[in-house]
Amino acid sequence: MIIAETPSLILRYITLDDVEELAKIYADPVVMKYFTSTRTYEETKLQVEWFITWYNKYGFGLWATIHKGDNKFIGRCGLIPQIVDGKKELEIGYLLAKEYWNRGLATEAAIASKNYAFEQLGYSRLISLIDRDNIASQKVALKVGLTYEKDSWLSWEKMARVYAIHK
């Protein structure tokens, strides 16, 4: 199911058919530098199954990000339910294969996710949780219109910068 289309991207539900391509991205230590660790094929499959559960439970989640120019699966972006400082939040998340970095594609995907949350789902506030050292992702958040709000200790024992936007 297609969620959104941008000039360069198609955002659609991730399926089990995408596990292999996503596992390649998750296995790259450069891509996963600011995440807890790289992931194996089996860990990726479990996460994709969790994404599918989100679609059924919330009607949204992280979506396959397909590059129109070459019709390739290049990552995942979308919306993630989070708890930050005891409060329910909705996060815009984005992660792309490194070959597609520095082309404005993460920004394009994040804007499409933001618009979907505001226009289709009726949310009035969104956040992004970003490692304090991940300057590239912080720049994406700023381009999407989010602003730095605070640092917060997350439940998986990691400090992150909270960027937020209100409709």
For residue 159, give the nearest of 126, 137, 122, 134 by alpha carbon: 134
For residue 92, give the nearest of 104, 78, 81 by alpha carbon: 78
- pLDDT for 144 equals 98
What domains can be seen in the chain, in order of their start residue? 2-166 (3.40.630.30)
pLDDT tens-digit series, residues 114-130: 999 999 999 999 999 99
Average pLDDT, the chain: 95
Identify the residue whose tokens are 């400090």: 159
H or E element, residue 105: helix 105-115
Largest CA distance in the chain: 42
pLDDT top residue among 159 and 9: 9
pTM: 0.94
User: What is the share, in percent, of the chain residues with pLDDT greater than 70?
Assistant: 98
pLDDT tens-digit series, residues 67-110: 999 999 999 999 999 999 999 999 999 999 999 999 999 999 99
- pLDDT for 154 equals 77
* Average pLDDT rounded to a whole number, residues 146-163: 88
The 72-84 sheet, strands edge to edge: 2-5, 9-13, 62-67, 72-84, 87-96, 125-130, 158-166, 147-154
Is beta strand 72-84 parallel, antiparallel or unpaired with respect to 62-67? Answer: antiparallel
Q: Using an 8 Å Cβ cutoff, are 68 and 4 in contact?
A: no
pLDDT tens-digit series, residues 29-76: 999 999 888 999 999 999 999 999 999 999 999 999 999 999 999 999
* Average pLDDT rounded to a whole number, residues 138-147: 98
For residue 73, give the nearest of 90, 48, 54 by alpha carbon: 48
For residue 148, give the nearest of 134, 130, 125 by alpha carbon: 130
- pLDDT for 156 equals 61
